[in-house]
């Protein structure tokens, strides 16, 4: 039986620059006691559709132009604000993407938890407290009594998301809308939260509408999958049909973008380009506190021409390690020998020459380009600085770089804010390649991008790597991406390297329990199996 039935929903945003249609006649159903997943990239209208149902899009600029949404015999879109408010938090509850910002930092967790109970059921404070503590226990919070009286900032993201889930379920809603609930979490936490949502759904027989950009994440838990692109539903069906028999080209593109397989082992040269020995990077703690040992005694080699994957969760120190090698973070102890030279001691002119030979690609394509410089200026800066070319043949070099990274030359006078995330990352790659480096540190270069774009950028990096015989340290939290691109893998945990080996060694026969748990957390087991 269908719990929620959305028909021909149309939503647009009215701004000073005109009306933009965000949702164009979307229809889908959520069956009772099932998990329906809506899949789409940013801008596909997947979140807007769901928020619009509950009257949660800000209006203006948001405007619902038409359609219906049948829920419990009523059309949600025709309800008044007061009637909708009664449904929100009682019959339909929501959890959101970023647990760090979704709980009110000024109120205790308990106060926020019992709000729906007191509001919708008029429950007495003590009874509500009892109920909340039971539920905190159910979602896996270890000491629910003390948690009840704590403030959100005392908890990690995963814990806060559990609190959010408890808060959503406290009134035993019939429908739970989960908007990218695991996207902001580390992969092992993500696996736990996914399992929790799936278990709760089964035990409580509620319908779940699960919004995600990641097909692999929903593969394991969804009963129905709805694929959206640019405000329209392009395909819907069971996971089986979607994964094995996708009809729409966009769905196929999404599927193809899931990083899979391993790199056909390139002809990695045997000689060592970089030797990292007992590297320590500590940050001073505040006041009397212990220093933060971001990187704590790490040794490894990078061979010429190989792609070395560095994998770890947030806080493992993997980015700091990359930045230490680049001399962007101050090294506390140890050495980094690059082609026979210890770079930790370099200064001035020598450091500048060394910097030409190694470059970095950053995570956030919105922050890694100077917003006040055109593409031309951005690319010209390294070329002129290191005398790669003179002003006379500058244009030729820049044109070549644009071609290399797959950007139209007509964009050369545009500014970063006029590009999409993927295009910006191409510019950043172009800037890194401009100095004709031998070594590149790529720090999560694709994790801020949509999946289809992610695949393009990975392919681009691989192709450029081979063409220019680049050595690469590829830092990522995403095991699938690492597997796709790396020759060898280092696993980092709390500032130390816990496992190292070739891709097949680490992925097929992990020796450390931490690596095993990381591997077990990779979403999409159903996909692979």
Residues with Cβ < 8 Å from 81, sequence gap 6 or more? 55
Residue range at the interface with another protein (CB under 8 A); choices 232-240, 289-297, 363-371, 476-484: 363-371
Minimal distance in Å, beta carbon 300 to another protein?
21
- Residue 346 binding another protein, by CB under 8 A: no
- Residue 88 binding another protein, by CB under 8 A: yes
CB of 356 closer than 8 Å to CB of 386: yes
Other C-beta atoms lying within 10 Å of the C-beta of residue 299: 13
Minimal distance in Å, beta carbon 166 to another protein?
12
CB of 245 closer than 8 Å to CB of 53: no
42's tokens: 């940013």
24's tokens: 């164009």
85's tokens: 């408010």
Instruction: Return the number of the residue (397 or 496) whose C-beta is nearest another protein.
Output: 397
Residue where the block lists tokens 């590829």:
474
∠ CA 109-113-116, rounded to 5°: 150
Rounded CA-CA distance 291/463 in Å is 41
Span between the terminal Cα atoms of the chain, in Å: 30
Minimal distance in Å, beta carbon 104 to another protein?
4
Span 388-447, contacts to another protein by CB under 8 A:
389, 393, 395-400, 404, 409-415, 417-418, 428, 431, 433, 435-436
Span 20-49, contacts to another protein by CB under 8 A:
none
Exposed/middle/buried for 389, CB within 10 Å: 0-12, 13-18, 19+? middle
Instruction: Return the number of the residue (373 or 526) whose C-beta is nearest another protein.
Output: 373
Residue range at the interface with another protein (CB under 8 A); choices 223-231, 320-328, 497-505, 520-528: 320-328
Minimal distance in Å, beta carbon 114 to another protein?
11
Minimal distance in Å, beta carbon 525 to another protein?
31
Minimal distance in Å, beta carbon 506 to another protein?
28
Minimal distance in Å, beta carbon 364 to another protein?
6
Choice from 115, 220, 232, 333 touching another protein (CB under 8 A): 115
Residue range at the interface with another protein (CB under 8 A); choices 98-106, 186-194, 209-217, 517-525: 98-106
Span 123-182, contacts to another protein by CB under 8 A:
146, 150-151, 153-154, 164, 167
Nearest to 93 by CA among 132, 138, 54: 54
Span 275-294, contacts to another protein by CB under 8 A:
none
Q: Output DSSP code: residue 285.
A: P
Q: Dihedrals φ, ψ of 142, to 5°?
A: -65, -50
Rounded CA-CA distance 166/149 in Å is 15
Give me the half-sphere count of Cα atoms (radius 13 Å) on the Cβ side of residue 198: 15
504's tokens: 């097949």
Compute how many residues bind another protein; rule: CB under 8 A.
84
- Residue 461 binding another protein, by CB under 8 A: no
Choice from 24, 31, 376, 501 touching another protein (CB under 8 A): 376
Instruction: Return the number of the residue (142 or 270) whose C-beta is nearest another protein.
Output: 142
Give me the half-sphere count of Cα atoms (radius 13 Å) on the Cβ side of residue 359: 20
Rounded CA-CA distance 171/448 in Å is 35
Instruction: Return the number of the residue (195 or 414) whose C-beta is nearest another protein.
Output: 414
- Residue 374 binding another protein, by CB under 8 A: yes
Rounded CA-CA distance 428/448 in Å is 14
- Cα→Cα distances 522→163, 307, 439, Å: 23, 21, 29
Residue range at the interface with another protein (CB under 8 A); choices 136-144, 275-283, 379-387, 449-457: 379-387
Question: One symbol per residue from 239 to 278: x for binding another protein (CB under 8 A), - otherwise; what is it?
Answer: ----------------------------------------
Instruction: Return the number of the residue (66 or 396) whose C-beta is nearest another protein.
Output: 396
Instruction: Return the number of the residue (90 or 488) whose C-beta is nearest another protein.
Output: 90
Nearest to 401 by CA among 374, 377, 429: 429
Minimal distance in Å, beta carbon 400 to another protein?
5
């Amino acid at each position: 039986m269908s719990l929620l039935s959305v028909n021909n929903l149309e939503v647009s945003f009215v701004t000073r620059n005109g009306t933009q249609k965000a949702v164009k006649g979307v229809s889908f159903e959520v069956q009772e006691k099932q998990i329906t997943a809506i899949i789409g990239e940013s801008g596909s209208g997947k979140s807007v559709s769901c928020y619009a149902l509950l009257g949660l899009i800000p209006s203006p600029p948001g405007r619902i132009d038409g359609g219906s949404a049948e829920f419990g015999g009523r059309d949600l879109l025709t309800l008044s604000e007061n009637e909708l408010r009664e449904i929100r938090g009682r019959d339909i509850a929501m959890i959101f993407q970023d647990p760090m910002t979704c709980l009110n930092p000024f109120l205790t967790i308990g106060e926020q938890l019992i709000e729906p109970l007191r509001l919708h059921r008029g429950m007495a404070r003590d009874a509500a407290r009892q109920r909340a503590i039971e539920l905190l226990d159910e979602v896996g919070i270890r000491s629910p009594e003390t948690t009840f009286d704590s403030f959100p900032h005392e908890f990690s993201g995963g814990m806060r998301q559990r609190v959010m889930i408890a808060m959503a379920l406290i009134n035993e809603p019939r429908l739970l809308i989960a908007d990218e609930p695991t996207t902001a979490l580390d992969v092992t936490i993500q696996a736990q939260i996914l399992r929790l949502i799936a278990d709760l759904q089964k035990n409580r027989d509620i319908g779940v509408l699960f919004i995600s950009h990641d097909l692999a994440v929903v593969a394991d838990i969804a009963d129905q999958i709805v694929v959206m692109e640019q405000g329209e539903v392009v395909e819907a069906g069971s996971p089986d049909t979607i994964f094995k028999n996708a009809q729409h080209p966009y769905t196929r593109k999404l599927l193809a973008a899931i990083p899979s397989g391993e790199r056909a082992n390139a002809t990695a040269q045997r000689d060592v380009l970089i030797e990292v020995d007992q590297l320590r990077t500590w940050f001073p703690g505040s006041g009397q506190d212990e220093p933060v040992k971001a990187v704590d005694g790490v040794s490894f080699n990078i061979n010429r021409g190989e792609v070395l994957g560095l994998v770890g969760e947030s806080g493992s120190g993997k980015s700091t390690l990359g930045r230490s090698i680049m001399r962007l973070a101050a090294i506390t102890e140890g050495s980094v020998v690059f082609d026979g030279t210890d770079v930790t001691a370099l200064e001035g002119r020598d450091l500048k020459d060394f910097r030409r030979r190694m470059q970095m690609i950053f995570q956030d394509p919105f922050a890694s380009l100077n917003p006040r410089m055109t593409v031309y200026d951005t690319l010209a800066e390294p070329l002129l600085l290191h005398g790669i070319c003179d002003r006379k043949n500058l244009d030729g070099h820049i044109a070549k770089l644009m071609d290399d990274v797959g950007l139209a030359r007509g964009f050369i006078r545009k500014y970063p804010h006029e590009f999409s995330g993927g295009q910006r990352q191409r510019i950043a790659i172009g800037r890194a390649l401009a100095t004709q480096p031998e070594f590149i540190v790529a720090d999560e270069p694709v994790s801020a991008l949509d999946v289809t774009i992610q695949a393009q950028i990975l392919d681009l990096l691989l192709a450029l790597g081979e063409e220019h015989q680049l050595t690469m340290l590829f830092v990522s939290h995403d095991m699938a991406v690492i597997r796709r691109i790396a020759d060898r893998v280092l696993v980092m945990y709390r500032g130390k390297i816990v496992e190292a080996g070739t891709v097949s060694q680490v992925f097929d026969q992990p020796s450390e329990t931490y690596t095993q748990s990381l591997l077990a957390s990779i979403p999409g087991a159903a996909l692979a199996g």
